[in-house]
Amino acid sequence: MLPHSEDVHGTAKRFAELEETVRQMILEGLGVAKYHEAQNESTWHLLRMSEYKAPNADEKWIGYVSHQDTNSLSVVCQHEVDGLEMQTRDGEWILVKPSPTSLIVMVGNALRAWTNGRLHAPFHRVMVRGDVTRYSAILFSVPECMIQAPDELVDEDHPPRFKPYRHDDFVRFCVSEEGARHEDKLKAFCGV
């Protein structure tokens, strides 16, 4: 049964409200809350529903390859079937197992760059196994402004890590032949 458009719109609205609240908390924690409203005005949201067919096997299959999101924040809702894995900073892959009433919020490369590398954008992938199809809903917050760390987040202890860039230009780089050659696409695109 397909969801009604009102249900999808309502879900997207609640995800966007959560994303905005989490982003506000992050900015407050970094001491740069004054930028929150400007970020809201230059952010749009994309809701994607994903289906990962069951491979009918005990071995894990790659449902979606390892990557970092290009956007600011991603809000993920898994439905009953696990499969999202994140790579720790030391390279270990771990299965993300939220409670049935929890959502997963991940930092993307736009927020990593905007915070001058103070936030980590984890590599993640979807691995599926067994005979049950995996479904998820993901909200991406996409910036339409210049991504540039504010002066408050750049100092002697935190020198500039990324050159300013436009999100659309970065996305084009990521899907280009040149971008495909790099694991850390943000660093390759605009790293200092």
Q: Is residue 53 part of a domain?
A: yes
Q: Is residue 187 part of a domain?
A: no
**Could you give the number of structural domains in the chain?**
1
Q: Is residue 15 part of a domain?
A: yes
Q: Is residue 185 part of a domain?
A: no
Burial code (b: 16+ CB inside 10 Å, e: under 16) for 43-68 equals bebebeeeebeebeeeebbebeeeeb
What percent of the chain has a predicted confidence (pLDDT) above 70?
98
Q: Is residue 152 part of a domain?
A: no
What contacts 90, CB < 8 A, 6 or more positions away? Answer: none
Q: Is residue 183 part of a domain?
A: no
Q: What is the pLDDT of residues 176-188, one digit of tens each?
A: 999 999 999 999 9
For 58, phi then psi, to 5°, come to -80, -25
CA distances from 100 to 53, 82, 125, 146, 161 (A): 20, 10, 20, 37, 37
Q: Is residue 126 part of a domain?
A: yes
| Alpha helices, DSSP H, located in 30-88 | 36-41
Domain that holds residue 100: 5-144
Nearest by Cα to 124 from 136, 114, 133, 142: 136
Nearest by Cα to 73 from 119, 123, 104, 107: 107
Q: Is residue 129 part of a domain?
A: yes
Checking if the pLDDT of 72 tops 70, the result is yes
**pTM of whole model > 0.85?**
yes
Q: Say which range, 46-50, 97-101, 142-146, 171-175, has the weakest mean pLDDT.
A: 97-101
Query: For the domain that residue 128 is a member of, what is the CATH number?
Result: 2.60.120.330
Average pLDDT (9-26) is 94
